[in-house]
Structure 1
Amino acid sequence: MNSKPTNAQSVQFLEVPEELAGQRIDNYLRTQLKGAPKTLIYRILRKGEVRVNKGRVKPEYRIQGGDIVRVPPIRLPEPNETPVVAQPLLERLEQAIVYEDKGLLVVNKPAGIAVHGGSGLSFGVIEAFRQLRPEAKELELVHRLDRDTSGLLMLAKKRSMLRHLHAALRGDGVDKRYWALVRGHWPTGTRKVHAPLLKNTLRSGERMVDVNPEGKEALTLFKVLRRFGRYATLVEASPVTGRTHQIRVHAKHAGHSIAGDAKYGDEGFDKEIRDLGGKRLFLHAVSLNLTLPDGTPLSLNAPVDETWEQVMGQLQDD
């Protein structure tokens, strides 16, 4: 029984080791099929070409120790086809590290850099850090940020850390806070946006999310931090659930789209912010609070970039 897939274009059967139990099948396949585009993994899952214990599974299925995963014939890049990340980006990401120990690495991801390769991108943050930390053989993303969102991103250097943080994320063991610059005058005080979200994929392959009663439950807490007249508001967003594009869609649903959001934003507002030099999505993962496996509390904060600071400096307080 194979434990790792090869580049041979034939059906393979992988036995899941006990230490990987609890991972989603899509994440497991992305780990095992290094270099395979995310779209390919979701396609073979959707078509039922991936089987677990001879049965079809959905992407959200969580694997168990001893599961037998059937992987269909696919073409993976040869080892010498691994993309080489340019030195300037490697240096930029190395300088963006805000915390590192034997099991965990946390980086203040710049806006515009994807967390992983795929969808036309040859590499992202995870590929860069595998190049920067070749000794960390088990390096994996703990969670994801949209390409245009900046801020704190966790990478586990050990399987034990990955399992610990995935369990914490499924419960309430990780407190994540975001800053967002939104259009208009957000109402005073903390506000809940509790609206189900449904993912759709357009013919172009672009992924869009809508508020839809048939979608998955989603809850975000918003708190006003600073006002700029009736024009804009800086809010803190705390996602209670972790749905795709959740903060962006919930902000739009509340009538206050995030500045610079090409998918869900307001064109007029976005243009005004761009005219101030704000050529980015104004969503930033600003803080993380969690407990490490040994019981030590960890509290991290990440500063916003120069573009964000410059735009904020030009806006007039209420």
Structure 2
Amino acid sequence: MKKVRKAVIPAAGLGTRFLPATKALAKEMLPIVDKPTIQFIVEEARKSGIEDIVVVDGKSKRSIEDHFDSNPELESNLEQKRKDAMLKMVQETTDINLYFIRQSHPRGLGDAVLTAKAFIGDEPFVVMLGDDLMEDKVPLTRQLMDSYRDTGASTLAVMKVPHEDTAKYGVINPTNVFKPGLYNVANFVEKPNPADAPSDLAIIGRYLLTPEIFDVLEKTAPGKGGEIQLTDAINTLNKTQRVFAREFKGARYDVGNKFGWIQTNIEYGLKHPEVKDQLREYLKQLSARLVDEDQNNQ
């Protein structure tokens, strides 16, 4: 069984939910307090033992490449001013085996993954979506890698969601529990109506896939929205080799929409050493003010 060494981070989306900010700025560069969202994804990959990462980007995504590139002028300035902590922080973003591939047209997640075929070769790999930040004692990507070590099969991360929210996700139809937290799956349903959803276990933004997925993707016809859906390809793969689902029980932060992004900034801000005390006090004052306003409006 080959070791899981590589990760694919799709980052070619247009980011329309964050316009006008994303007209010229990559959505993946929107900060959570003081760190771009994509850096959290890269850090999760490294903590999980991933050695090589490819970012599948598109037009107007140059800021991602610049962020992970060296900046000699900035580093020299910080060194001269003896701002050692900041210098270390900046240099850590370049100490990564990071590669970039351009997806010429946004044809969907499946096409973005297919774009990385030459980089991955015949190895198992992980796909990490930038809209989801995950927190747990063991990184979610590492959990998927551990499951693969036990099964040798593709494994998707899933999480229980409110039943009325199943229309927002791909949802699994589990057949039985292979072992605690790991499900055999009959099929995967993309954004079902809640009345038709086979479970409340929704696919979240981490996948571990065997290289056979590329042959399937090359034959997968466009689905919803005229895009090549990764879920469709995984369904096909599941007919010839088992695909498992690993239930994630840690904390998930959805930064793919405005409210989720603001909520995540508050949550992370309350843990950030530089701003947590000020933010906590501000939230107390804001809460008291909102209560007063509500009472006055009654």
Please give the range of the TM-score, normalised by the shorter of the 2 chains: under 0.3
TM-score after normalising by structure 1: 0.27
Structure holding more helix per residue:
2
RCO higher in structure (CA 8 A, sep ≥6): 2
TM-score after normalising by structure 2: 0.28
